[in-house]
């Protein structure tokens, strides 16, 4: 059996979590977590890590030059560079409202890319 320790990042408590994994890589036990979310995080982090991805894309005709964007759900850690490469090729036209879907099914992952801020158009109140 394998044993791993990690600091939980789910909340400010930063619990020190110990996870025991079977030889096949399945979670056998989790200890040290102060909540269920911590236990879920630790198991996922060791077996199939995921991350939210944020970035910016150029805005044409906007009051600001770049729009902050965020994925609608976490993506597999191993696909972050693919997601960033796709985001790099996106641009939008103002106006854009917070929550607008900028791209559906990002990298075929079933995750949307959403606007994280409202950007008005130049010359409009």
- pLDDT by residue for the chain (125 residues), tens only, comes to 899 999 999 999 999 999 999 999 899 999 999 998 999 999 999 999 999 999 999 999 999 999 999 999 999 999 999 999 999 999 999 999 999 999 999 999 999 999 999 999 998 76
Predicted local distance difference test score (pLDDT) of residue 125: 67
Predicted local distance difference test score (pLDDT) of residue 26: 92
Count of CA atoms in the C-beta half-sphere (13 A) of 41? 20
Asked whether 115 and 96 are in contact (CB, 8 A), the reply is yes
- Which residue matches tokens 């030059």? 65
Q: 75-79 long-range CB contacts below 8 Å, 24 or more apart?
A: 75/50, 75/51, 75/106, 75/107, 75/109, 75/111, 76/48, 76/49, 76/50, 76/109, 77/49, 77/50, 77/51, 79/107, 79/109
Predicted local distance difference test score (pLDDT) of residue 1: 85
Asked whether 36 and 43 are in contact (CB, 8 A), the reply is no
Question: Rounded to the nearest 10 degrees, how much is the dihedral formed by the CA atoms of 21, 27, 31, 36?
Answer: 160
Count of CA atoms in the C-beta half-sphere (13 A) of 106? 30
The CATH code for residues 54-115 is 3.10.530.10
Predicted local distance difference test score (pLDDT) of residue 15: 95
Domain ranges of the chain: 2-48, 54-115
């Amino acid at each position: 059996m394998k044993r791993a320790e990690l600091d939980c990042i789910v909340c400010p408590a930063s619990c020190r979590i110990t996870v025991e994994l079977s030889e096949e890589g399945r979670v056998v036990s989790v200890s040290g977590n102060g909540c269920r979310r911590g236990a879920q995080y630790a198991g996922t982090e060791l077996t199939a890590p995921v991350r939210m991805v944020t970035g910016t894309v150029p805005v044409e005709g906007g009051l600001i030059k770049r729009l902050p964007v965020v994925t609608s759900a976490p993506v597999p850690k191993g696909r972050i560079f693919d997601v960033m490469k796709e985001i790099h090729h996106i641009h939008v036209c103002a106006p854009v409202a917070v929550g607008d879907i900028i791209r559906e099914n990002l990298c075929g992952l079933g995750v949307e890319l959403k606007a994280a801020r409202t950007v008005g158009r130049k010359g409009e109140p």
